[in-house]
C-alpha cells in the first residue's frame, strides 16, 4: 500500500500545506461505483492528496487515474484492504465524519492545529469501533446527509479550494468564463 507522501504542497504564501487524505469505508463495488466516484472527485477537486478505498476497487482507481492524467495533479486512489492499518499508521488527526458527532464549527480550530488530516467517511454502515479509533467525530449538520456533501464542506472549511498550481501536469485546463465552456490544451512541463 503506497503512502505516497511525495513532497508537501505549499500554499501561495509559501507555508507548507496540510496534507489531507480520505479513507472511504464500506464501499460496495457492485452498488456504489458512482457514489464513490463522486466522493473521489470531490476529494480531488477540494485538495485531498489521496483516497484510501476499502474494499479496494481497481476499476474506480483507474477511472480516477485517467481523470488525473487529463486534468492534472497527483491525487490517487489507494487500495486499503486493511483499513485499520491506515488509521493506525496515520500521523496527524483522524477525523470521522458522522451526523452524530460534534459540530464542525466547534471542531475546526482544533483540526487546524492537528497536522495532516485523515477524513474517514463511511457508507450506510460503519464499524462502530471507528468512533473510538478516530481522534475526532465531526458532524456537518446533525441531519441525515450525503457523505459526499459532508466531506466537501469539511474540506472547503479546512483547506478551501486548491489553486490551479495543485493540478500541474494537465493535458487541458478550463478557462473560467461567465457563459459557456472554454477548455484549452496545456503543454506538459
Query: Does 173 help bind a second copy (rule: CB under 8 A)?
Result: yes
Among residues 112 and 145, whose Cβ is nearest to a second copy? 145
Query: Does 161 help bind a second copy (rule: CB under 8 A)?
Result: yes
Among residues 2 and 180, whose Cβ is nearest to a second copy? 180
CA distances (Å), origin 115, targets 34, 77, 95, 158: 31, 21, 12, 12
Do 138 and 154 meet the contact criterion of CB atoms below 8 Å apart?
yes
Query: Does 67 help bind a second copy (rule: CB under 8 A)?
Result: yes
CA distance 94 to 133: 8
CA distance 44 to 189: 21
Mode of pairing for the β-strands spanning 50-53 and 20-24: parallel
Q: What DSSP line would sit under 72-129, residue for residue?
A: -S--EEEE-S-HHHHHHH--SEEEEEEEEEEEHHHHHHHHHTS-SEEEEE--S---TT
Site string for a second copy, 1-20 (x = CB under 8 A): --------------------
Task: Specify the DSSP element, H or E, that contains 150.
Answer: helix 147-159
Among residues 57 and 147, whose Cβ is nearest to a second copy? 147
Give the total of residues touching a second copy (CB under 8 A): 56
Query: Does 167 help bind a second copy (rule: CB under 8 A)?
Result: yes
Query: Does 164 help bind a second copy (rule: CB under 8 A)?
Result: yes
At how many degrees (to 10) do helices 104-112 and 147-159 cross?
A: 50
Among residues 118 and 155, whose Cβ is nearest to a second copy? 155
Query: Does 103 help bind a second copy (rule: CB under 8 A)?
Result: yes
Among residues 78 and 148, whose Cβ is nearest to a second copy? 148
- Least distance to a second copy, CB of residue 54, Å: 19
Residues that bind a second copy (CB under 8 A): 32, 34-35, 38-39, 41-42, 44-46, 67, 71, 98-105, 128, 131-132, 136-137, 139-153, 156-157, 161-162, 164, 167, 173-174, 176-183
Amino acid at each position: 500500500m503506497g503512502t505516497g507522501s511525495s513532497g508537501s504542497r505549499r500554499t501561495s504564501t509559501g507555508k507548507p500545506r496540510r496534507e489531507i487524505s480520505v479513507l472511504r469505508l464500506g464501499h460496495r463495488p457492485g452498488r456504489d461505483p458512482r457514489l464513490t466516484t463522486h466522493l473521489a472527485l470531490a476529494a480531488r477537486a477540494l485538495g485531498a492528496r489521496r483516497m484510501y478505498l476499502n474494499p479496494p476497487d481497481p476499476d474506480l482507481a483507474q477511472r480516477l487515474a485517467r481523470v488525473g492524467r487529463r486534468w492534472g495533479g497527483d491525487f490517487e486512489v489507494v487500495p486499503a484492504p486493511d483499513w485499520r492499518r491506515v488509521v493506525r499508521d496515520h500521523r496527524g488527526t483522524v477525523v470521522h465524519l458522522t451526523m452524530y458527532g460534534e459540530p464542525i464549527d466547534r471542531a475546526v480550530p482544533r483540526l487546524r492545529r492537528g497536522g495532516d488530516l485523515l477524513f474517514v467517511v463511511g457508507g450506510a454502515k460503519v464499524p462502530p469501533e471507528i468512533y473510538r479509533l478516530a481522534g475526532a467525530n465531526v458532524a456537518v449538520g446533525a441531519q441525515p446527509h450525503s457523505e459526499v456533501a459532508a466531506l466537501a464542506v469539511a474540506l472547503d472549511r479546512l483547506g478551501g479550494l486548491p489553486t490551479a498550481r495543485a493540478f500541474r501536469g494537465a493535458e487541458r485546463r478550463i478557462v473560467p468564463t461567465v457563459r459557456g465552456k472554454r477548455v484549452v490544451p496545456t503543454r506538459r512541463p
